[in-house]
Amino acid sequence: MYPQNAYNTGGTGYNPNLRQSNYVSNVYSVPQNYSYSYPNRIIHSVGNRKNNNIILTSITLGFLVFICIVSIFLFVFIASGSSSLDLNNLVSNDSNSRLTSQKQGSDKNNTRKELNDEEIVEKVLPAVWTVKFYIEGGDLTGSGFFISEDGLFLTNDHVACGLRLTSKAIIRDYKGKEYKVKGYVGSPIEDVAVLIVDTENEKVPYLNLASPEAIKLMTDIYAVGAGKRYENTITSGKITGLNRFVSTGIDEDCYTNRLIYRSIPDAIQISAAINLGNSGGPVVNKYGEVVGIAFAIGEGEAVNFMIPINRIIRFVNAYEQNRGMLYLPYLGVAVRPLTKDMLRSAELPENLEGVNYIDKIDPRSAFYKVGIRTGSIILQVGSKTPNYLYDTITEYYDKDAEIEIVYIRPNSQAPIEASVKLEYEVFGVLED
């Protein structure tokens, strides 16, 4: 859990396009060809009236039976067809994609009801685990939670980094049950990671992910985790601020030991108490759905921060689509949005408010090589004005592309065009 040392600007948050899945349900199959076979009837005397009456009666009865069968068939078909016109019935709630159903904020029966405090504890606590990395001289503690019964386990990337210090790591639930941690795949950009956990093929309790639309001011929330190393701690509060720019400072990434400047441009401010050890734990709403992950402690009382659900969904989608590995660009810069006060101080136009300001830069980065320095301002990436540099690049650009940028240097207002070829790396540390 990081202390928070950010500039809170109220910038515009990122709204990703969520992955859509195709559903197949309520499929009615009707035979295309009917084959009827009748016994051969030998009529010995065509001229015999009795026989003719029998034949006529048989034909009549056969026709009536046929009419009855057709009527019954049409009645059933129309009844089933009328229900199939209901679009809600054409969409199955049993999706093969765990995120497609979860991001709707609903369970398999599409039923939701607000839970009281006791029900929140009963539903959420079994899915939240304490993360322990045992190192020489002590241990590191964090939190995390399952989002699928087959063991997909989420935490913060800065928590998962503890695995680089030791090969002995476990997660432990509120009853003391333990599973071994075998590896992790994380994003230092999103500060979200998947821990690879050996669940011994057991089904585990898990939490559903809320829809991004669930993030609203004054929503009741609960933060769950190992606050101050006290495992299974639950605190309550409300969402008290949106789109907060939160920088957690400089760190070395867990993969290449290069500098990472962690920051979330659209962090959510919450009043629920979180402490060291809460990092990676879920923040849930009154339905017991995950709306964020606790990651930063504020400087003031009841001012703490969570990573919003849209970033969690984006990370998990990327993880699944890339079959457990992530390709991410190495930018090597710390950015923050320009505020009105910063613009006035630098005598820059007010229409640059919110544009990316380079706070720090790694001399090894591709941006440094094209002349960008601390104090530079990124005006354009490709054809877009970036609200947040990392989001713009990871959303719109292929790992093999050269990125056209426009920037201005410190103490200058002359735009400079440059072409940047970023280095992309596979992010993931797995057990051999």
User: Could you please report the per-residue DSSP string of 314-360?
Assistant: HHHHHHHHTTT-EEEEE--EEEEEPPHHHHHHHT--GGGTT-EEEEE
Are 286 and 184 found together in one domain? yes
DSSP 18: P
Residue 66 maps to a domain: yes
Residue 51 has pLDDT above 50, yes or no: no
Are 232 and 340 found together in one domain? no
Residue 10 has pLDDT above 60, yes or no: no
Number of domains in the chain: 3
pLDDT in tens, 220-276: 999 999 988 889 899 999 999 999 988 877 777 666 677 778 888 899 999 999 999
Task: Specify the CATH number for the domain of residue 396.
Answer: 2.30.42.10
**Positive or negative, the Cα torsion across 90, 92, 97, 99?**
positive
Q: Is residue 112 exposed (0-12), middle (13-18) or buried (19+ Cβ within 10 Å)?
A: middle
Confidence of residue 111 (pLDDT cuts 50, 70, 90): low
CA angle 14, 98, 109 (to 5 degrees): 110
Side-chain-side CA neighbours of 246 within 13 Å: the count stands at 30
Q: Which of 283, 300, 324 is the last residue of a domain?
A: 324
Range of the structural domain that residue 401 is part of: 327-426
Enter the tokens of residue 7. Answer: 């500039």
Average confidence score pLDDT of the chain: 75
Q: d(Cα 263, Cα 191) in Å, to the nearest integer? A: 8
Q: d(Cα 210, Cα 287) in Å, to the nearest integer? A: 9
Are 200 and 125 found together in one domain? yes
Q: Are 297 and 242 in contact (CB under 8 A)?
A: no
Determine how many CB atoms are found less than 10 A away from the CB of residue 183. Answer: 18
3-state DSSP assignment of residue 390: helix
Scan for tokens 């009855």, then name that residue: 68
Enumerate the β-bridge partners of residue 171: 131, 179
Q: pTM here? A: 0.71
Provide the H-helix boundaries in 85-183: 98-102, 117-124, 157-160
Enter the tokens of residue 30. Answer: 């009707």
Q: d(Cα 83, Cα 26) in Å, to the nearest integer? A: 10
Residue 185 has pLDDT above 80, yes or no: yes
Residue 21 maps to a domain: no
Residue 16 maps to a domain: no
Enumerate the β-bridge partners of residue 130: 143, 172
Determine how many CB atoms are found less than 10 A away from the CB of residue 71. Answer: 10
Residue 30 maps to a domain: no
